């Protein structure tokens, strides 16, 4: 598999825990390199062929600050040839109108710049009103809700990583 990075805030709580579980699920045969999304540069971002982005939703349907600060740089990048998969933490009970929106925001940003998106998932098992992460009957990435469905995360991560192992090369 090409060089693969997993980008998330090392200071986040649930997103960082999920990143550790994703890396564990890939196993030792895969060299998945953790990158702190709070210290991102364009060079670092472009140095990977496969990218996994950890993007929790904050502020009623927005990106957290550290991702938002990288958006102007991201908007100038050519991401053709990049394979990108996005996972995001959210809370479907407290924020049913914006569940996991940040996953959709990031998916749109990277696809507009030529990246190919991987790791879309089924809507089954979630309950919410609207989500920017939803498109054509699927989520654009992996949605994890550690606050209201913590027991479902393990299997969701396992299924997602199993898909990515087939899709990334
Ligand atoms: C102020 C605030 C706003 C939030 N807004 C949303 C939201 O719009 N949609 C959503 O799905 N979750 C929302 N959440 C829930 C977070 O995404 C959830 O707590 C997540 O686990 C945070 O992950 P992190 O601790 O790794 O950043 C919000 C949480 C807080 C504290």
Q: How far is the CA of 98 from the centre of ligand 1 (A)?
A: 10
Assess whether pLDDT exceeds 90 at residue 161: yes
pLDDT (average), residues 144-159: 98
Pocket lining: 132 vs ligand 1, CB cutoff 6 Å: no
Name the pTM for this structure.
0.98
Nearest-CA residue for ligand 1 atom 17 is 90
Assess whether pLDDT exceeds 90 at residue 1: no
Q: How many CB atoms lie within 10 A of CB 70?
A: 20
Q: What is the pLDDT of residue 2?
A: 81
pLDDT in tens, 50-89: 999 999 999 999 999 999 999 999 999 999 999 999 999 9
Q: What is the pLDDT of residue 147?
A: 98
First to last CA, the chain: 4
Rounded Cα–Cα distance for residues 163 and 129 (Å): 27
| Index of the ligand 1 atom closest to the CA of residue 15 | 26
Q: What is the pLDDT of residue 120?
A: 98
Q: How far is the CA of 58 from the centre of ligand 1 (A)?
A: 5
* Mutation choice for ligand 1 from 13, 15, 90, CB with most ligand atoms inside 8 A: 90
pLDDT in tens, 103-151: 999 999 999 999 999 999 999 999 999 999 999 999 999 999 999 999 9
Rounded Cα–Cα distance for residues 140 and 34 (Å): 22
Q: How confident is the model at residue 48 (pLDDT cuts 50, 70, 90)?
A: very high
Which of 125, 68, 132 lies closest to 105 in space, CA to CA?
132
Pocket lining: 156 vs ligand 1, CB cutoff 6 Å: no
Q: What is the pLDDT of residue 142?
A: 98
Rounded Cα–Cα distance for residues 131 and 98 (Å): 5
Nearest-CA residue for ligand 1 atom 21 is 89
Tokens for 14, please give them. 């649930």
């Amino acid at each position: 598999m090409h060089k693969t990075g997993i980008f998330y805030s090392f200071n986040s709580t649930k997103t960082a825990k999920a990143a550790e579980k994703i890396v564990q699920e890939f196993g030792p045969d895969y060299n998945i390199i953790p990158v702190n999304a709070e210290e991102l540069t364009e060079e670092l971002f472009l140095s990977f062929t496969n990218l996994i982005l950890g993007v929790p939703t904050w502020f009623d349907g927005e990106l957290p600050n550290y991702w938002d600060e990288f958006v102007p740089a991201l908007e100038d990048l050519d991401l053709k040839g990049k394979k990108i998969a996005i996972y995001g933490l959210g809370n479907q009970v407290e924020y049913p109108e914006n569940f996991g929106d940040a996953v959709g925001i990031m998916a749109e940003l990277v696809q507009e710049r030529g990246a190919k998106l991987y790791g879309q998932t089924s809507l089954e098992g979630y309950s919410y009103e609207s989500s920017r992460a939803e498109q054509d009957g699927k989520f654009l990435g992996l949605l994890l809700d550690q606050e209201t469905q913590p027991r479902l995360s393990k299997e969701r991560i396992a299924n997602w990583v199993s898909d990515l192992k087939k899709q990334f090369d």
